[in-house]
């Protein structure tokens, strides 16, 4: 079984590469990766960094921080941070599988926490959107706290609804 959702970093375009209009969405995203995090307040609050975006794949990291600890006895990062990182990375991978941008909504997210992350370690999430239908994106992801691809901290399986009504400011009013 291939455990890793490995993204080849060498194939990923670098920030500042010139893009033409017919450049695939994921390549346009790859250049805008830093902006995607900057535009998401919670991702910015956690200090997330986009490491790579390739077709239907994404790698995002978050550093260990004192204020993100979940167990004061061990100093281990909160599982909630890993949850948010995996959710976010899965969403970026689903987006990177599209040919044109559209609004998405998470349907469900299942996470297995195999072991606590090492104290002080950067958490890296690698996500792959392995199937995209007209309406749903199916994504798998792993979270690692080191280079050992056979020893993930957590695994995720997510489904996203594609092309939802993402009208600007829609949520400013309560639901009907």
Partner 1 sequence: MSDAPATPTRVDLSELSAMFEAVPYAKFLGVQLELKGDELTAILPFKDTLIGNPMLPALHGGVVGALMELTAVAQIFLAQGGKKIPKVIDISIDYLRSGRPVDTYARAHVTKLGRRIANVRVEAWQFDRADPIAALHGHFLLKSDEAEAEPKG
CB atoms within 10 A of CB 2: 7
Number of residues that bind partner 1 (CB under 8 A): 47
Instruction: For residue 167, give both structure tokens.
Output: 């009208």
Q: What track of x and - describes contact with partner 1 for positions 52 through 81 (by CB under 8 A)? A: --------------xxxxxxxx---xxxxx
The minimum distance between CB 91 and partner 1, in angstroms, equals 8
- Strand ranges, E, within the chain: 49-54, 57-62, 69-71, 76-77, 104-113, 123-132, 136-144, 154-162
**Which CB sits closer to partner 1, 23 or 106?**
106
CB atoms within 10 A of CB 16: 6
Residue from 44, 119, 120, 163 touching partner 1 (CB under 8 A): that is 44
Residue from 9, 119, 131, 170 touching partner 1 (CB under 8 A): that is 170
Is 111 an interacting residue with respect to partner 1 (CB under 8 A)?
yes
Residues of this chain that bind partner 1 (CB under 8 A): 39-45, 66-73, 77-81, 83-88, 91, 103, 105-113, 116, 166-172, 174-175
């Amino acid at each position: 079984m291939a455990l890793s959702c490995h993204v080849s970093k060498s194939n990923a375009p670098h920030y500042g590469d010139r893009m033409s209009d017919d450049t695939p969405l994921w390549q346009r995203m790859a250049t805008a990766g830093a902006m995607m995090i900057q535009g998401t307040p919670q991702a910015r609050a956690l200090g997330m960094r986009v490491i790579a975006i390739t077709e239907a794949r994404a790698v995002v990291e978050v550093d260990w921080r004192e204020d993100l600890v979940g167990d004061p006895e061990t100093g281990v990062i909160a599982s909630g941070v890993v949850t948010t990182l995996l959710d976010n990375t899965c969403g970026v991978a689903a987006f990177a599988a599209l040919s044109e941008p559209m609004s998405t909504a998470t349907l469900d997210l299942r996470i297995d926490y195999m072991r606590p992350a090492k104290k002080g370690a950067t958490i890296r999430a690698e996500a792959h959107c392995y199937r995209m239908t007209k309406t749903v994106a199916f994504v798998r992801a792993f979270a690692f706290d080191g280079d050992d691809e056979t020893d993930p901290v957590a695994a995720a399986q997510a489904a996203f609804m594609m092309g939802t009504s993402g009208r600007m400011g829609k949520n400013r009013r309560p639901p009907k």
